[in-house]
């Protein structure tokens, strides 16, 4: 598989990252190395950059792409463990960090990875294929209540209960093995009249939900954001690109809590809790892609960039 991925919001990331010469950076979702390459070039090739990814194909592709930059170090792992991984690699305090959440184009476009509802393939969906439960194993073992919660909470699917029930009925006849097995179960659960009216594939929300559950994408996200913020120097910036509302709400809430951690009653005349802001949220909230980018790359349509800068805290 050729791991080529067009980095989204690239110019926006470079502008808000405030890349400097001899800086130290972390790309927690390395992918094909597009963002990392741009950051290294913006530094004049003088920066140190630690790229983390749990996908072995991504590590190989990015390492080859960035072999000309002596400051690049690839780390196989999950950005949820970035703090420990960076410490183990000997990285000093960071001038900036980037997370580009979601599934990369090569993962989506490689049928045998099982992320796509458009092609029949083994139901895998693991970003790290060396460990963890596959999507098929999850669908074949989770009870109906658990499946309903996964599809409802991670897919924001209003037909979650019907889909979960249909999954259980289907697997009683034949265990789930391929992506089309899941597509057929969703088709059977959602009324035809609804499917005709809806834009987009009827299985897209269920596939998103199962992928998130298989890769445990959301539960550790807030702590990972706080850990990366701990790794930054004062003045360092954390840039996060999200692709759906579940991720974006977590990032927005976390940044807001770090910017305004006070827990005093709203009507209290003065703050007595002693909690000080740890970050300043930049860019006025979420930065969307330009019209030119979404026309060139339709997968960028749902992308949002949020940026927070670490403040100098009193000793």
CA angle 301, 218, 163 (to 5 degrees): 80
Residues 13 and 82: beta-carbon distance below 8 Å: no
Tokens of 5: 């991925």
* Residue 4 pLDDT level (bands cut at 50, 70, 90): low
Pair (178, 270) in one structural domain: no
Determine the pLDDT at residue 2. Answer: 53
Determine the pLDDT at residue 273. Answer: 87
Pair (168, 262) in one structural domain: no
Pair (70, 86) in one structural domain: yes
- Section 188-213 average pLDDT: 91
Determine the pLDDT at residue 236. Answer: 98
**Percentage of the chain lying above the pLDDT 90 cut:** 81
If one counts the domains in the chain, the total is: 2
Determine the pLDDT at residue 112. Answer: 85
Is 125 among the domain residues? yes
DSSP code, position 312: P
Q: Where are any strands of DSSP class E within the chain? A: 24-27, 48-53, 72-76, 94-100, 232-242, 279-287, 304-310
Per residue in 210-253, pLDDT (tens digit) is: 999 999 999 999 999 999 999 999 999 999 999 999 999 999 99
Domain boundary residue, one of 215, 239, 261: 215
- Between 109 and 136, name the one with better pLDDT: 136
How many angstroms separate the CA atoms of 21 and 45, rounded? 8
* Residue 314 pLDDT level (bands cut at 50, 70, 90): low
Pair (84, 231) in one structural domain: yes
How many angstroms separate the CA atoms of 21 and 39, rounded? 10
Domain boundary residue, one of 200, 215, 230: 215
Is 42 among the domain residues? yes
Is 63 among the domain residues? yes
pTM of the model: 0.90
Is 3 among the domain residues? no
**CATH number of residue 135's parent domain:** 1.10.150.170
How many angstroms separate the CA atoms of 93 and 253, rounded? 24
Q: In what order do the strands lie in the sheet with 94-100?
A: 72-76, 48-53, 24-27, 94-100, 232-242, 304-310, 279-287
Residues 221 and 72: beta-carbon distance below 8 Å: no
Per residue in 5-45, pLDDT (tens digit) is: 679 999 999 999 999 999 999 999 999 999 999 999 999 99
Determine the pLDDT at residue 315. Answer: 45
Structure-token match 């019907």, residue found: 162
Per residue in 41-90, pLDDT (tens digit) is: 999 999 999 999 999 999 999 999 999 999 999 999 999 999 999 999 99
Per residue in 82-115, pLDDT (tens digit) is: 999 999 999 999 999 999 997 776 677 678 889 9
Phi and psi, residue 278, nearest 5°? -100, -20
Full domain range(s) for residue 138: 109-215
Helix (H, G, I), strand (E, B) or coil at 290: coil
β-strand pairing of 24-27 with 48-53: parallel
Work out the mean pLDDT of the chain and round it to a whole number.
93
Is 225 among the domain residues? yes
Determine the pLDDT at residue 73. Answer: 98
């Amino acid at each position: 598989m050729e791991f080529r991925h067009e980095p989204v919001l690239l110019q926006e990331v470079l502008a808000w990252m405030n890349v400097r010469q001899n800086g130290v950076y972390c790309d927690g979702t390395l992918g094909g190395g597009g963002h990392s390459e741009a950051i290294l070039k913006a530094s004049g090739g003088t920066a140190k950059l630690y790229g983390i990814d749990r996908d072995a194909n991504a590590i190989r592709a990015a390492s080859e792409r960035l072999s000309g930059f002596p400051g690049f170090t690839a780390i196989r792992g999950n950005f949820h463990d970035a703090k420990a991984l960076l410490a183990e690699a000997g990285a000093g305090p960071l001038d900036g960090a980037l997370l580009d959440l979601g599934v990369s184009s090569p993962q989506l476009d490689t049928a045998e990875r099982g992320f796509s509802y458009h092609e029949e393939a083994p139901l895998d969906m693991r970003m790290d294929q060396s460990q963890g439960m596959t999507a098929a194993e999850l669908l074949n073992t989770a009870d109906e209540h658990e499946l309903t919660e996964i599809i409802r909470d991670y897919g924001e699917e209003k037909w979650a209960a019907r889909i979960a029930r249909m999954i259980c009925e289907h697997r009683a006849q034949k265990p789930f093995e391929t992506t089309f097995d899941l597509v057929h179960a969703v088709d059977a659960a959602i009324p035809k009249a609804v499917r005709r009216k809806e834009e987009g594939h009827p299985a897209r929300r269920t596939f998103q939900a199962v992928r998130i559950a298989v890769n445990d994408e959301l539960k550790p996200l807030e702590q990972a954001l706080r850990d990366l913020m701990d790794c930054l120097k004062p003045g360092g910036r954390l840039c996060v690109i999200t692709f759906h509302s579940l991720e974006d709400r977590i990032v927005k809430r976390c940044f807001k809590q770090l910017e305004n951690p006070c827990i005093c009653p709203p009507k209290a005349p003065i703050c007595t809790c002693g909690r000080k802001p740890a970050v300043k949220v930049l860019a006025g909230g979420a930065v969307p892609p330009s019209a030119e980018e979404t026309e060139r790359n339709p997968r960028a349509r749902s992308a949002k960039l949020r940026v927070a800068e670490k403040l100098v805290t009193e000793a």
